[in-house]
Amino acid sequence: MNNVFPSQHPLVAHKLTLLRDKNTDPKTFRELIREIATLLTYEATADLPTRPKQVETPLATTQGTEVDDKIGLVPILRAGLGMVEGVWTLMPGAQVWHIGLYRDERTLRPVEYYNKLPVEPTVSLCLVLDPMLATGGSAVATVDILKRWGVRRIKFMGIIGAPEGIALMQEHHPDVPIHLAAIDERLNENGYILPGLGDAGDRQFGTG
Ligand code: PRP
Ligand code: URA
């Protein structure tokens, strides 16, 4: 699977185990989503372009670097929201553009209900944030929207991916790298990831 990067980091695996636990309460669940998002950001941004930047230390002038990208975070509502703070820990200047999609329970197809992108893209790289890549319908639809908006470079950052969702993304958007905490076994008959963690939106927001 080219372009798919499940984390190999022990801290990610440790935190993901706590996240999966059905006894983890919403407050801890939100903290874990934030922490895992921070760790995945470190991995997903390893190839960011940089430009030289001169800096004066108390002792001398030296050549440093700064990131040469305008980064946009695109959390897919609702569940992607919880990942934003985690990314902001490392990139506090990143813009955030929300896209609202929910999955129709019967067809499992994404239904768009919110999108307030300006006419012209304001960023050079978008990180799409959603903890769950299940059938892949929501991720594919979001990347479709961003490409129509004119963004050329897009990465998907999620927590758990199902093989079915990864395959759909690779079919429609093979140019989009996928960064995940883990790849799980499969979807069940209701489109939920097994073993997964249940409903990521409900567990963060205490609904359901
Ligand atoms: C969940 C999840 C993804 C989507 C994944 O959202 O956060 O957006 O399902 O499923 P897919 O890969 O099959 O499209 P949901 O529709 O439950 O909405 P919510 O975040 O508002 O709970
Ligand atoms: N959405 C979720 O929140 N969990 C899943 O397992 C699948 C879709």
136-176 tens-digit pLDDT? 999 999 999 999 999 999 999 999 999 999 999 999 999 99
Q: Identify whether 62 is part of a domain.
A: no
* CA 36 to each of CA 80, 82, 137, 159: distance values in angstroms, whole numbers, following the listed order: 12, 10, 23, 8
Q: What percent of the chain has pLDDT over 90?
A: 98
Indicate whether residue 193 lines ligand 2 (CB < 6 A): yes
Ligand 1 lining (C-beta closer than 6 Å): 76-79, 102-103, 108, 110, 130-139, 165, 191, 200-201
Q: Where are the beta strands (DSSP E) in the chain?
A: 4-6, 50-56, 61-67, 71-77, 95-96, 99-103, 110-115, 125-129, 132-133, 153-157, 160-161, 178-180, 182-183, 186-187, 193-194
Q: Identify whether 150 is part of a domain.
A: yes
Q: Identify whether 184 is part of a domain.
A: yes
148 is catalytic: no
Q: What local confidence, expressed as pLDDT, does residue 146 receive?
A: 97
Predicted confidence band at 116 (pLDDT cuts at 50, 70, 90)? confident
Cα–Cα nearest to 91, from 70, 74, 75? 70
126 has a pLDDT exceeding 90? yes
103 is catalytic: yes
CA-proximal residue: ligand 1, atom 18 (nearest): 102
User: What is the pLDDT of the chain when averaged over all its residues?
Assistant: 97
1 has a pLDDT exceeding 80? no
Q: Identify whether 180 is part of a domain.
A: yes
Enclosing domain of residue 22:
4-46+70-205
Strand duo 186-187 + 193-194: pairing:
antiparallel
29-52 pLDDT per residue, tens: 999 999 999 999 999 999 999 999
Question: What own/partner pairs with CB < 8 Å and gap ≥ 24 does 60-69 have?
Answer: 69/124, 69/125
How many whole angstroms separate alpha carbon 6 and alpha carbon 125? 20
Pocket test for ligand 1, best of 111, 128, 129, 138 (most atoms within 8 A of CB): 138
CATH of residue 32:
3.40.50.2020
34 is catalytic: no
Q: Identify whether 122 is part of a domain.
A: yes
Q: What local confidence, expressed as pLDDT, does residue 88 receive?
A: 98
Q: Give the number of domains in the chain.
A: 1
Question: Annotated catalytic residue: which of 34, 103, 144, 153?
Answer: 103
